[in-house]
A and B are shown apart, each in its own frame.
Chain A
Amino acid sequence: MKKIRTKKLLSVLIIMFVALSSTSVFAADSTFLNNLANEKRTLIYGPEEGIKVIPYSDDVCNGKPYHDLVSSGFGTAYRGAFPSTDLIVEGACWQCDGCYLVMVTEGEPILGEDIGTWATYPYDEPISGYGAVIWTNTYGNCSSPSMSGYHFRY
């Protein structure tokens, strides 16, 4: 009976030691976590997989790390507010499947063309499949077929 008690006590002590020591590793080494954040990686723990280091992803749109832009016809973007006719770009129109953001791009990124001049406007409802006209002050230029935070599809 005494033997069993001693065994139990020893097990509890071992468990406490392991728990405290592993906590102190992470608590003491805060630079470890900072480095993960800087390298765009994050630490996750799953009961089956154990501790894992995975790429870190920003929540850009409804849990996704990008706006899921669906081809939506033709688009024209003007600088400022309606009824400005100060043209920013005329070309392909896209709308985010998650948040209805509308983007107009000069090129056809899906076909490998550079995005070129682009402009966005936060719509709050689906636009027609023929396209849209937007007035905005959010625009830029991208000399690549891809842009971080945006995913294009038909």
Chain B
Amino acid sequence: MNPVWRWFHQLGSPPYFYRFATRWMPWFGLSALVLSVIGLYLGMAKAPADYLQGDSFRIIYIHVPAAWMSMFIYVAMAVNGAIALIWRIKLSELLFLACAPIGAMFTAVTLITGMLWGKPTWGAYWVWDARLTSELVLLFLYFGVIGLASAYDDVRQGARAAAVLGLVGVVNVPIIHFSVKWWNTLHQGETIRIMGKSSIDSSMLWPLLIMALATKLYFVFALLLRARGMLLEQERNKQWVREVLSPPQIAGGRS
């Protein structure tokens, strides 16, 4: 078997996932923290002020990476939801459930920092613009997934029911992304392009890319933390949990 596939299969095993999460979580958390400090320092202190928006443009270093993550996490959540529905893999159900609050947090950060950017830039905290409205719908979708999953006593049943809602809501992600192209919106168009030249100077772009990487690492850290806790709760009566948590002398002399 291909080593990557073998690793994926192993990751589906609860004890393996628990050990993997415990080992790698601090590294993801620490890297996210270090990169956030560097990114924010470069963005807040070193990048020049925008010629039109002045210093208020610096909110970009929180708002834009958070907005990217709000959509990225939704897609990651939906993929795990699809796997949970089709193959009924326990770990995918947990990852699906763990994604929702992190995604909701990033969506809330996007909306709040967007409002705080909107006031000095547009003169209004909120307008019922296509980009803003579709992002608000994303927040409601996250809340819907969290609420529906917690309405069930059985965690696995709740996860699968919420996965259906999660999958239906995926349609909103391209709407958010293309809203600035499909409609005349107050929200500015694409500034950064993967294909083609970005309309942002490199002195302003680098801190943004660093912050984007920091938010990705934070997501992995928070995901592992939440999924590990849920796994422990679900498998609390299993022998492997006793072995993992017990000191060597309690686990029957194992080291």
B is bound to A: no
Interface residues of chain B, those whose CB is within 8 Å of chain A, are: none
Interface residues of chain A, those whose CB is within 8 Å of chain B, are: none
